[in-house]
Homo-oligomer: A and B are copies of this chain.
Amino acid sequence: MTISDIAERAGVSIGAVSFALNGRKGVSEETRARVLRVADELGWAPSTAARSLAEAKTETFGLVLARDPHNLGVESFYMEFFAGLEIELSKRGYSLLLQVVGSTDDALATLQKWHRTRRVDGVVLTDLIDDDPRAAFVADSGLPAVVVGDPGIAGGLTSVWTDDAASMREAVRHLVSLGHRRIARVAGLGSLAHTRIRDDAFAEETGLLGVAGELLRTDYTPEAGERVTREALTGAEPPTALIYDNDVMAVAGLTVAMELGLGVPGEVSIVAWDDSVLCEHTLPKLTALSHDVVAFGSHVARRLFDVVAGSEPAAFLDSTPHLVVRGSTGTATRDS
């Protein structure tokens, strides 16, 4: 016998049975009484209950990353995010089950397997695409989950998000206030929903302010950042300011400008997103959209513990990345 037998007989969810047998909040007294009566009728012994409930609890959260593992070490975002998750998990003796796969389909298959074999108490979903099949599966299966990203792509699941559009607009306004009229955005992977949100905000804000906004697509690697920066700065109508989608591409862009003999910020301004220790140790130090990614990871973990405990789905806004102005942005002096 399992607790699902009790759930079926009592006409309630497995979670409600678990709550009732454990004496935890989250079910009405009426439901609790019915569950306990059914459990008694079925001869449910406390020792059996204890064992089944212990088996149901894996003390593990899962995360499947659909990224090329060869590029994972390049930027600090994921390591900081994992570190933030681990800060909360370690307080409760939880582990993180991590698998890197090649595609969204493989990620879905892994989540299905973990759910089927009861490997995790809940999962964190990152890098969502539009109409993401992972969000749909998780919503259907009832596997506790938190989506890292905009509520608009979370498919009704609990989400923790940052207002990337607001951050992008702040960066564009900062550059325009310094006199820049030709700004380039060095963007990350176009398949990711949050990249598109940044793309749209960049296009809207440059349009609104009447300045030229050029979109340069990359795969987040410093090689790509270097290449598109060189092409842009040696082109016919070079930008006087660039906003990069990660820190290593911004550092690569700074180096390209210096190699071309262009002063930073005298001739070219540079903004990095996210901020990192790297941005504070270049010369000049990099102006950056700063977000505490470690705290973000901890926030996500706390919300997932809440979901596992039965909280209703909700969207939680994490702190909005804000502009930290350092030495790499200044008044536009070139023809622009």
Contacts and interface: CB of A to CB of B under 8 A. Distances in A.
A74 B110 CA distance: 29
A74 B251 contact: no
A251 B252 CA distance: 13
B73 A281 contact: no
A87 interface: yes
Contacts of A94: 99
Interface in A273-327: 276-278, 280-283, 293-294
A311 B279 CA distance: 46
Interface in A33-64: 60, 62
A253 B62 CA distance: 38
A83 B97 contact: no
A94 B258 CA distance: 45
B95 A69 contact: no
A97 B95 CA distance: 6
Given A69-B90, A72-B82, A73-B79, A248 B278 contact: yes
Given A248-B278, A281-B248, A98 B73 contact: no
Contacts of A87: 69-70, 100
A86 interface: yes
Contacts of A77: 73
A132 interface: no
A281 B222 contact: yes
A226 interface: yes
Contacts of A90: 69, 99-102
A126 B110 CA distance: 27
Interface in A190-231: 221-222, 226
A226 B79 contact: no
B72 A79 contact: yes
Given A90-B102, A278-B248, A278-B251, A83 B69 contact: yes
Contact of A83 (B70, B119, B254): B70
A163 interface: no
A89 interface: yes
Nearest to A68: B83
Given A70-B294, A98-B86, A248 B277 contact: yes
A62 to B, nearest CB: 8
A96 interface: yes
30 contacts: A60-B97, A69-B83, A69-B84, A69-B86, A69-B87, A69-B294, A70-B294, A72-B79, A72-B80, A72-B83, A73-B77, A73-B81, A73-B83, A74-B76, A74-B277, A82-B98, A86-B98, A86-B100, A89-B100, A94-B99, A95-B98, A95-B99, A95-B119, A222-B280, A222-B281, A226-B281, A251-B278, A254-B281, A255-B281, A255-B282
